[in-house]
C-alpha cells in the first residue's frame, strides 16, 4: 500500500480527533498548524474556532464552551455569542418550541441550512419539522460549525438563502465508561442525564453508546403549567482500516403548555391571557391553561457509511428515516364556535350539525409526518493541490396535519367525536433532489486557495385536501402540484495568507429556495408564486498572534422575491395565512470579533455586529373585507424582528479545579411590523456559570459541581415577536432570572 499524502493524512487525523469529519477538515484554531491537536491550543473554554483556509466567514463551537453551560442547554443557545447570531428561546433549554427563534444576518431559521450529522432538517417549524433539540443533546455534541454568510455547496437543504449550521454528534468512546448528571433549578426544574459507552464490544468489534435525558419543569408564568421532555440517543460504530459504518437513532418525546402573549409594554395581551383556574364562565375559561397544550414525538434513524475506495477517493453515504407525530389542543368559546358553524352553513356546508351546550368547543390537531432520504458525498484528491468534491441528496416527505373543531361533553368537558368544522385537513408530499460539485485548488505553498462550485435544486410539492377554513366553508378541495427548480447556483471563493498570521478571504454564492409548503395552503393562493433567491457576497480578514486572534467581515446580500405570510391575530378563528411575494430586499452589514488569551487560564472574547435589512419595494395585499388590494408602503423600511446592532463579551477562567464563565449579550431594538411604526426596546442579558471539578488527587475525582445563571440581572424584555404588516405586534415575554445547580460524575 502506498504512503498516504500529507493532505489526506492530516484530514483523517482531524476527523478522528474532532469527530466532525470532512466538513471541518479545513478548520483549526487561530493560526495553529492544521495537525495540532485541539487540546494543545488552550485549556480555557473556547467560544469559537475561527475557520482558517476557508473562503467564507466560519466559526465553530468547541466542547469546552459547551461544558461551561448548564448541562443539556438547548443546542441553538450555544450559538448566542457568535457574531451576527440572534437567538430567542422560551428558556435556556428551549422547551417551548413555538417561541424559539433564531436569525443570522437578517435571515430567520427557516431560511438557513441546518443539518445534524449531515442529515438535513426539513424545517425548523415545530409542526412540519423540529428544532435541533429533538435530534441531539448538547452533552452528545462533538461540535457545531456556523457559516453565517452562505453554506457550502455540499449542504443538503431546500431553503438555505442565508447561512448554514452543521451539528455533529460525538462518536462512541473506545473504552468502557460513561457519565451522569442531575440538575435542579428555578421553576421546579429537574433534569437527569446518563450516557454509557461500551468500548469495543469484542476485540476489533464495534463501539457503542446509549444515552437518555429526562426533563420536568413549570413555565415561569403559571406554576401548574408544565414542560416535559424525554430523549434517547444511541450510536454504534464499526471501523476497519480507514473505513467505518455507523448507525444512530434518536427518540424525542415532549409535551408542554402554551405561554401567553403580551403587548409592547409587557402587559398580558387582552386577546390571549392564559389563566390558572376555571371561573365558570366559558367566555373566559377558554383561556384556562389546561386547554392549551402541545406534544411532539420524533424518531430519527440513520446509517453512515464512510468508505475509502482508493488512496485518494473517499465516499460517504447517509441514508435516513424519520417519523413524527404530534398534537395541538386548544379551546374555542361557545360564541366563536357558533360563529364558525354559522359561517360554514352560510358558505354552503350541509354535512355538519352543532348543538350549543354552553361549554367550550375544542380543537385537537394532529401532526403526523414521515420522511426518508439519502445524501452522498465524495472527496477526490486529484493531486496535492487540487481536490474535487461532488455528491447529491434525495428526500421524500409526507406531512399530513389536520385541525378539526369538535364539540365537548356536557358531563366532563372531554372532546367528543362530533365535528363542528375543520380549520384544515392537509396532505403534503414533497420530493427534493439536489446535486453539487466543487473544485478546491491550492497555490503558493497552500497560501492561496480557490474554490469553484455549483449546486442544483429541484423541489416538487404536491398538495391535496382542505387547505384552510375559507376552503372548508366553501367546500373547496385542492389537488395540485408545484415544481420549483434552479439547476445552476454558482459559488466562488478565494482565501490568501498575506502574512503567516493574516489571511484575507472572499466568497460569492447564489442561493435558491423552493416555495414553502405553507404557501400552497394560502387563503389567497397564487400557483405562480415566485421562489425566493439570494446573492451573498462575503469578504473579510482573519489575523492572529500568540495571545490574540480575530476577524472582521463585511457582507452584502441581494434577496429577491421574498415571501411573507400575512395572518390574522384571531387565534380563535384560525382562518389561515396569505403568502405573497413582496419584492426584493437589500442587506449589508459588518462583523468584528476578537479574543485575547493572556495565559492558559483566562480568555476574553468580544464581538459586535451591524446589520441593515430593508425592503426595496412597496407591495399590495388583498383585503377580503373590502374585496380590494391595499398598498403596504414598506420601501426603505427595515425588516421586522431583526436587530440592527448586536454584541457580546465573554470572560472565561479555568484553573486546576475551579472554573468560571460569564457572557454579556446585547440585542438591539427590533421592529414589530413592516411599516416600522412599532419597535421593541434593546436589552442586555448577563449569563454565566461557576463551578469546581475534582482531579485524581481530590476526594471528588471524576465529579463536577456547577451553578449556572441566566438573565442574572432579571431584565424584563420581549423575546419572540408575532409580526404584522401595519398594526401592532404580539410578543412573548423573555425568561426571567433562572438558576441551575448541577452535579456530574464520569465513570
What local confidence, expressed as pLDDT, does residue 12 receive?
34
Least Cα distance to 735 among 697, 686, 679 occurs for 686
Q: What value does the mean pLDDT take over residues 314-331?
A: 95
The pLDDT-based confidence of 340 (bands split at 50, 70, 90) is confident
The pLDDT-based confidence of 571 (bands split at 50, 70, 90) is low
Whether 322 and 371 have beta carbons less than 8 Å apart is answered as yes
- How far is residue 544's CA from residue 546's CA, in Å, rounded to a whole number? 7
What local confidence, expressed as pLDDT, does residue 740 receive?
97
The pLDDT-based confidence of 58 (bands split at 50, 70, 90) is confident
Q: What are 458's strand-pairing partners?
A: 433, 485
Q: What value does the mean pLDDT take over residues 121-138?
A: 86
pLDDT score of 417 more than 60: yes
Q: The whole model's pTM is what?
A: 0.90
Q: What value does the mean pLDDT take over residues 8-30?
A: 32
The pLDDT-based confidence of 84 (bands split at 50, 70, 90) is confident
> What does DSSP assign to residue 548?
E
CA torsion sign, 67 to 72 to 74 to 75? positive
Task: Choose from 102-106, 149-153, 610-614 the range with maximum mean pLDDT.
Answer: 610-614
Q: What are 460's strand-pairing partners?
A: 431, 483
The pLDDT-based confidence of 133 (bands split at 50, 70, 90) is very high
Q: Which residue has the cell 442529515?
A: 119
The pLDDT-based confidence of 625 (bands split at 50, 70, 90) is low
Burial of residue 177 (CB within 10 Å: 0-12, 13-18, 19+) is: middle
Burial of residue 293 (CB within 10 Å: 0-12, 13-18, 19+) is: middle
What local confidence, expressed as pLDDT, does residue 278 receive?
86
Whether 574 and 423 have beta carbons less than 8 Å apart is answered as yes
What local confidence, expressed as pLDDT, does residue 27 receive?
33
Characterize the bridge pairing of strands 602-615 and 585-596. Answer: antiparallel
Whether 123 and 111 have beta carbons less than 8 Å apart is answered as no
Q: For residue 451, what is its C-alpha cell?
A: 474554490
- How far is residue 455's CA from residue 393's CA, in Å, rounded to a whole number? 11
Q: What value does the mean pLDDT take over residues 37-50?
A: 38
Whether 664 and 682 have beta carbons less than 8 Å apart is answered as no
* Three-state secondary structure string covering 171-219: CCCCCEEEEEEEEEECCCEEEEEEEEEEEECCCCCCEEEEEEEEEEEEC
Q: Where are the domains of the chain?
A: 6-746
Chain segment 206-237, per-residue pLDDT in tens: 999 999 999 999 999 999 999 999 999 999 99
> What does DSSP assign to residue 657?
S
pLDDT score of 539 more than 90: yes
CA torsion sign, 438 to 442 to 443 to 447? positive
What local confidence, expressed as pLDDT, does residue 567 receive?
59
Whether 307 and 314 have beta carbons less than 8 Å apart is answered as yes
Q: What are 738's strand-pairing partners?
A: 710
CA torsion sign, 269 to 271 to 274 to 275? positive
pLDDT score of 253 more than 60: yes
* Three-state secondary structure string covering 273-299: CCECCCCCCHHHHCCEHHHCEEEEEEE
Q: Which residue has the cell 485549556?
A: 43
Architecture of domain 6-746: Beta Barrel (2.40)
Which of 28-32, 402-406, 546-550 has the least mean pLDDT? 28-32
pLDDT score of 36 more than 50: no
Q: For residue 651, what is its C-alpha cell?
A: 470572560
- Give CA separation, 70 vs 65, 136, 361, 435, in Å: 11, 16, 41, 39
CA dihedral 213, 219, 223, 225 (to 10 degrees): -80
The pLDDT-based confidence of 202 (bands split at 50, 70, 90) is very high
Burial of residue 295 (CB within 10 Å: 0-12, 13-18, 19+) is: middle
Q: What value does the mean pLDDT take over residues 552-562?
A: 93
**Using DSSP, how many helices (H) and how many strands (E) does the chain show?**
5, 39
| Of 507 and 68, more confident | 507
Chain segment 601-613, per-residue pLDDT in tens: 999 999 999 999 9
Amino acid at each position: 500500500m502506498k504512503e498516504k499524502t500529507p493532505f489526506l493524512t492530516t484530514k483523517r487525523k482531524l476527523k478522528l480527533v474532532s469527530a466532525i469529519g470532512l466538513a471541518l477538515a479545513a478548520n483549526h484554531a487561530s493560526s495553529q498548524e492544521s495537525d495540532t491537536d485541539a487540546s494543545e491550543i488552550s485549556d480555557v473554554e473556547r467560544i469559537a474556532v475561527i475557520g482558517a483556509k476557508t473562503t467564507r466567514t466560519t466559526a465553530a463551537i468547541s466542547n469546552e464552551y459547551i461544558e461551561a453551560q448548564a448541562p443539556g442547554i438547548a443546542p441553538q443557545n450555544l450559538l448566542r455569542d457568535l457574531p451576527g447570531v440572534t437567538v430567542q428561546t422560551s428558556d435556556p433549554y428551549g422547551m417551548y418550541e413555538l417561541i424559539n427563534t433564531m436569525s443570522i444576518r437578517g435571515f430567520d431559521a427557516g431560511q438557513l441550512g441546518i443539518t445534524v450529522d449531515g442529515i438535513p432538517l426539513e424545517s425548523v417549524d415545530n409542526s412540519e419539522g423540529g428544532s435541533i433539540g429533538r435530534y441531539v443533546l448538547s452533552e452528545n455534541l462533538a461540535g457545531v460549525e456556523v457559516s453565517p454568510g452562505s453554506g457550502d455547496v455540499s449542504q443538503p437543504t431546500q431553503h438555505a438563502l442565508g447561512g448554514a449550521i452543521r451539528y455533529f454528534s460525538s462518536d462512541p468512546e473506545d473504552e468502557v465508561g460513561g457519565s451522569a448528571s442531575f440538575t435542579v433549578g428555578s421553576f421546579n426544574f429537574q433534569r437527569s442525564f446518563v450516557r454509557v459507552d461500551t468500548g469495543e464490544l469484542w476485540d476489533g468489534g464495534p463501539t457503542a453508546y446509549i444515552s437518555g435525558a429526562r426533563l420536568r419543569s413549570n413555565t415561569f408564568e403559571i406554576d401548574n403549567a408544565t414542560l416535559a421532555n424525554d430523549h434517547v440517543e444511541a450510536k454504534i460504530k464499526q471501523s476497519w482500516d480507514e473505513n467505518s459504518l455507523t448507525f444512530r437513532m434518536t427518540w424525542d418525546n415532549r409535551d408542554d403548555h402554551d405561554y401567553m402573549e403580551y403587548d409592547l409594554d409587557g402587559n398580558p395581551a387582552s386577546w390571549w391571557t392564559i389563566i390558572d383556574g376555571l371561573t365558570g364562565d366559558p367566555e373566559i375559561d377558554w383561556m384556562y391553561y389546561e386547554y392549551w397544550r402541545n406534544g411532539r414525538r420524533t424518531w430519527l434513524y440513520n446509517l453512515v457509511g464512510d468508505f475509502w475506495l482508493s488512496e485518494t477517493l473517499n465516499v460517504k453515504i447517509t441514508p435516513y428515516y424519520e417519523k413524527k407525530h404530534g398534537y395541538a389542543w386548544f379551546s374555542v368559546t361557545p360564541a366563536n364556535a357558533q360563529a364558525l358553524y354559522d359561517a360554514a352553513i352560510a358558505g354552503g356546508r350541509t354535512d355538519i350539525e352543532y348543538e350549543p351546550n354552553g361549554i367550550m368547543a375544542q380543537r385537537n390537531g394532529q401532526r403526523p409526518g414521515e420522511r426518508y432520504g439519502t445524501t452522498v458525498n465524495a472527496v477526490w484528491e486529484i493531486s496535492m493541490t487540487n481536490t474535487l468534491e461532488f455528491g447529491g441528496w434525495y428526500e421524500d416527505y409526507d406531512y399530513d396535519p389536520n385541525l378539526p373543531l369538535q364539540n365537548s361533553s356536557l358531563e366532563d368537558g372531554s372532546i367528543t367525536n362530533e365535528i363542528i368544522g375543520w380549520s384544515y385537513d392537509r396532505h403534503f408530499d414533497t420530493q427534493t433532489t439536489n446535486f453539487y460539485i466543487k473544485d478546491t485548488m491550492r497555490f503558493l505553498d497552500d497560501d492561496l486557495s480557490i474554490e469553484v462550485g455549483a449546486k442544483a435544486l429541484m423541489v416538487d410539492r404536491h398538495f391535496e385536501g382542505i387547505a384552510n377554513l375559507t376552503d372548508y366553508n366553501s367546500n373547496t378541495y385542492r389537488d395540485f402540484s408545484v415544481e420549483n427548480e434552479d439547476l445552476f447556483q454558482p459559488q466562488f471563493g478565494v482565501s490568501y495568507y498575506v502574512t503567516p498570521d493574516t489571511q484575507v478571504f472572499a466568497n460569492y454564492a447564489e442561493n435558491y429556495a423552493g416555495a414553502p409548503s405553507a404557501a400552497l395552503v394560502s387563503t389567497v393562493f397564487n400557483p405562480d408564486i415566485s421562489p425566493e433567491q439570494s446573492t451573498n457576497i462575503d469578504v473579510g480578514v482573519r489575523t492572529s498572534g500568540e495571545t490574540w486572534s480575530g476577524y472582521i467581515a463585511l457582507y452584502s446580500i441581494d434577496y429577491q422575491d421574498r415571501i411573507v405570510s400575512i395572518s390574522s391575530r384571531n387565534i380563535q378563528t384560525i382562518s389561515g395565512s396569505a403568502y405573497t411575494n413582496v419584492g426584493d430586499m437589500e442587506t449589508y452589514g459588518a462583523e468584528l470579533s476578537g479574543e485575547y488569551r493572556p495565559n492558559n487560564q483566562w480568555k476574553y472574547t468580544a464581538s459586535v455586529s451591524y446589520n441593515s435589512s430593508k425592503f426595496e419595494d412597496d407591495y399590495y395585499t388583498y383585503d377580503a373585507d373590502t374585496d380590494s388590494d391595499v398598498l403596504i408602503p414598506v420601501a426603505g423600511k427595515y425588516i421586522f424582528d431583526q436587530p440592527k446592532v448586536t454584541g457580546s463579551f465573554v470572560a472565561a477562567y479555568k484553573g486546576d479545579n475551579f472554573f468560571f464563565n460569564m457572557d454579556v449579550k446585547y440585542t438591539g431594538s427590533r421592529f414589530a411590523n413592516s411599516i416600522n411604526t412599532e419597535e421593541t426596546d434593546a436589552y442586555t442579558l448577563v449569563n454565566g456559570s461557576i463551578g469546581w471539578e475534582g482531579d485524581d488527587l481530590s476526594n471528588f475525582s471524576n465529579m463536577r459541581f456547577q451553578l449556572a445563571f441566566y438573565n442574572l440581572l432579571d431584565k424584563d424584555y420581549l423575546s419572540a415577536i408575532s409580526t404584522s404588516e401595519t398594526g401592532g405586534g404580539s410578543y412573548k415575554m423573555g425568561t426571567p432570572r433562572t438558576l441551575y445547580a448541577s452535579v456530574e460524575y464520569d465513570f
